[in-house]
């Protein structure tokens, strides 16, 4: 009779240990599953963010091309348009973006993205009296004469413009793109 009592006590103790081990293993498996689910969610979010960024950069190309065509068609580079073109460089914020009223800038809608652009002539004053000193110009290297007494001529140059594009997308995302473009050739003063 005594033997049966010892075996019953030992079996009850083993049953309790087994339940604890199973609960611990289940806890570890649940935590591992939650970590795996979180990693999958983060991967999905990162992929979505990358797709949104790529789409907004593609939409910005529309703004750059539209601004470039408008810049080439300018009748007068000396007059501000007030909504999209300035004859001089505008003040910028800490990130280098011009302080302008973006709500007044021309808008193009590309899919679910709103594309707005502005153009600044990279000059310090208007009207310009000395292009080479008052504006950022791009000079084309030229072969020159090395003959003694022959005056060096200034190389041909083109006026530079900065196009800034702001793309607003889903979930109020914003992408900013800036590029420099050239227009025409200025005669040296």
Q: Per-domain residue ranges for the chain?
A: 2-186
Closest by CA position to 46, among listed 34, 54, 35: 54
Cβ-based neighbours of 134, under 8 Å, separated by 6 or more: 123, 124, 125, 128
Mean pLDDT of all residues belonging to the chain: 80
Residues 6+ apart with CB under 8 A from 125: 88, 134
pLDDT of 184 over the 70 cut: no
Tokens 């208007």 — which residue? 126
pLDDT of residue 170: 86
pLDDT band of 189, cuts 50, 70, 90: very low
- pTM (predicted TM-score): 0.67
Convert the pLDDT of each residue in 80-130 to its tens digit: 887 899 888 888 888 888 988 899 999 999 989 999 999 998 888 777 777
């Amino acid at each position: 009779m005594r033997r049966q009592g010892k075996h019953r006590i030992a079996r009850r103790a083993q049953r309790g240990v087994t339940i604890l081990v199973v609960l611990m293993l289940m806890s570890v498996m649940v935590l591992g599953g939650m970590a795996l689910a979180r990693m999958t969610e983060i991967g999905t979010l990162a992929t979505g963010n990358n797709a949104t960024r790529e789409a907004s950069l593609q939409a910005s190309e529309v703004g750059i091309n539209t601004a470039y065509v408008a810049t080439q068609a300018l009748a007068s580079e000396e007059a501000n348009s007030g909504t999209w073109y300035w004859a001089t460089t505008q003040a910028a914020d800490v990130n280098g973006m011009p302080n302008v009223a973006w709500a007044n800038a021309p808008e193009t809608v590309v899919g679910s993205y709103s594309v707005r652009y502005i153009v600044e002539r990279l000059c310090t004053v208007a009207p310009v009296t000395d292009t080479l000193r008052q504006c950022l110009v791009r000079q084309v290297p030229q072969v020159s004469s090395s003959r003694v007494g022959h005056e060096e001529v200034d190389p041909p140059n083109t006026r530079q413009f900065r196009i800034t594009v702001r793309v607003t997308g889903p979930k109020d995302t914003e992408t900013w793109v800036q590029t420099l473009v050239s227009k025409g050739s200025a005669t040296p003063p």
